[in-house]
Structure 1
């Protein structure tokens, strides 16, 4: 397995991947604890805060799992057994799916929350948390069932290597699937991801329309000397649109790299780039929340201020 050998010996790949994982874990940890403190300090927590906290926790667990897998790629001290391979790879696949699901539902929830009273979405505001939670539980069950084939497809890499086995990590390999079974799973994954991406696109388009209409209203009322400073709703809309645009760009790039990886099966470069791109959103997205929300910055400034004074 030439791919495994190159990954073990390439120091630049090792540094890049562990740097991405370390930065992502730190950023998601900061975001999660900031949101958790805000939730605990409020009598009636906002659904958006709850879902941002959940998204950051999911991404944190995803990056920790990726870190463990990376250790077996670059620093294989001892081989894992089949049970360890199955559990870690399955957990990683599941967390990646839940991250996509949580991002989509957060986008929908944000759209419902920011919609004006005259909008057709107003009737969903008072029960949006229950509806979104129910949808999320449904997708959890769906992702668990869709990823269940990993439990029987992943095995510990045998001592005698074979071209039939697909490299996953130093210790783990993927059993070859039949053409019909592979197509069936690929079709199910495509339907699932197309639905979620389409839902995000629709909600993002709706928010763009709201933002444009609000801008026109501000221009019309500008003569009344109203402040041209962006409102909290505008800043929130721009934040989620920035996140969704970044997500769509990375998702498209990941699909292109993945197809190239399938075409050039022995090329470790595409394998490595696919790993980096597929975890970039989980690493970068918490910085968008941290930099655009003042209460998080104030929270950490006060926290570090107390530590310095001690």
Structure 2
């Protein structure tokens, strides 16, 4: 498990830092969203990924109560911002590719102006919603005797009373479910728009000598692949989260599988985006070899 965590953490950090470095040189609104997505993914690895790797490699007692609370809080905020910015990314792309006859056409000029406010709102809401993590996370160095707990190797997650646990689960799950539904709607809308556009300009594709698709189409396809990856991994992560909220005690393998699953999307997402961006590939892979 230590080798698996280490591999996932190293690959995830390299991919996210690499794509973040690539986006720094561009100033498009969509790149601003991608910068914060990569930043949030990096926080996931630098918090939970590193500590979980150290715990799996044999270091058990290296975090105090305060350290565990900070690590779990940063991880929760990073995960939440990753979800919300991915949702914002898909909705923004759906608005920008909407045809002139659509009701969303009038928002095309306004959407880039509200990107900064929307991203700031994502960070603010997640920082407030995940502040309850200090109530149930404690370190192994503490002398507190916990009878109802889940062991993550380096920290304990304490189970409070059933009402508090249920309310906290609902509070944390509502934004995830909302973002998931919004992303599915935006993705379906983009698929419909692209399919209709392809039918309308089919005669152009027949007579065109170039086989390369339009930049907007390639960007939209990358967003659709990204959202599909997100839905797959975070659905599994959400199922584990609900399970752990109901069951007080869980096996070692379920806990580790849950942690690995929650970090799958931050690991894969930069490579999904780079696979659609040739300039990112040319810039990032030489940088990785030099590093």
CA contact (8 A) 1:257 1:274 kept: yes
Equivalent in the alignment of 1:23: 11
SS of 1:147 mapped into structure 2: helix
Change (3 A) 1:237 1:264: same
3-state SS of paired residue (1:265): coil
In 2, Cα distance between equivalents of 1:222 and 1:68: 49
Contact 1:69/1:169, CA 8 A, preserved across alignment: no
Which range moves more in the overlay, 224-233 or 192-201?
A: 224-233
* Structure 2 residue 77 is the aligned partner of structure 1 residue 89: no
Name the stretch that deviates more: 16-25 or 48-57: 48-57
Task: Determine whether 1:55 maps to 2:43.
Answer: no
Q: 1:123 to 1:257 in 2, by over 3 A?
A: same
Structure 2 gap segments, 5+ residues each: none
Of the three residues 194, 211, 222, the one matched with 2:194 is 211
Assess if the C-alpha contact under 8 Å between 2:90 and 2:183 holds in 1.
Answer: yes
Pick aligned residue for 1:169 from 130, 137, 153 = 153
Cα RMSD of the aligned pairs, angstroms, is 2.4
How far off is 1:144 after superposition? 1.8
The residue number in structure 2 matching 1:290 is: 274
2:86 aligned residue = 103
The residue aligned with 1:35 is 23
- 1:136 CA displacement: 2.9
TM-score, normalization: structure 1?
Answer: 0.84
Query: Among residues 119, 130, 150, which one is paired with 2:102 in the alignment?
Result: 119
Q: Deviations over 1:144-174 (max 9, x none)?
A: 222111123222234575432332333x222
1:7 equivalent in structure 2: none
Greater CA drift, 246-255 or 14-23: 246-255
Match of 1:68 among 50, 54, 67: 50
TM-aligned CA deviation for residue 260 of structure 1: 4.9
The correspondence of residues 116-265 of structure 1 with structure 2, limited to 5 A, is 116-157=99-140, 158-159=142-143, 162-170=146-154, 172-225=155-208, 227-261=210-244, 263=247, 265=249
Unaligned residue ranges in structure 1 (runs of 5+) = 1-12, 40-44
Q: Check the 8 A contact 1:258/1:270 in 2, yes or no.
A: no
Deviations 1:2-46 (A, max 9, x none): xxxxxxxxxxx111111001101011111011111x22xxxxx21
TM-score by length of 2: 0.89
Q: Shift in Å at residue 135 of structure 1?
A: 2.9
Q: Once the 2 structures are TM-superposed, how far is the Cα of residue 210 of structure 1 from its aligned partner?
A: 1.1
